């Protein structure tokens, strides 16, 4: 029973993050990613991902394409 509740909660959080990403992409005209950072879903624009890579927030050698491949959802 507890597993079912956890799955529903995770699905609800995912749908909420996707909805937020789509809304922001339509509003600002930028590409947004839904990624899992530190155990929670984050909605981040591509521009911010580029800045984080420049500041070495991710491991050496990680590119924007790697982040996009591993993203849970990418707006168009």
Dump pLDDT digits (tens) for 1-58: 899 999 999 999 999 999 999 999 999 999 999 999 889 999 999 999 999 999 998 8
Element (H, E) at 4: helix 2-28
Q: Where are the domains of the chain?
A: 2-74
Q: What is the pTM of this model?
A: 0.86
Q: Report how far residue 74's alpha carbon sits from residue 61's, in angstroms, rounded to the nearest whole number.
A: 21
């Amino acid at each position: 029973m507890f597993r079912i509740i956890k799955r529903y909660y995770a699905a609800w959080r995912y749908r909420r993050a996707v909805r937020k990403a789509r809304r922001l992409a339509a509003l600002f005209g930028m590409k947004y990613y839904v990624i899992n950072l530190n155990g929670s879903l984050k909605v981040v624009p591509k521009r911010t991902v580029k800045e984080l890579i420049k500041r070495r927030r991710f491991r050496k050698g990680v590119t924007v394409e790697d982040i996009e491949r591993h993203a849970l959802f990418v707006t168009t």
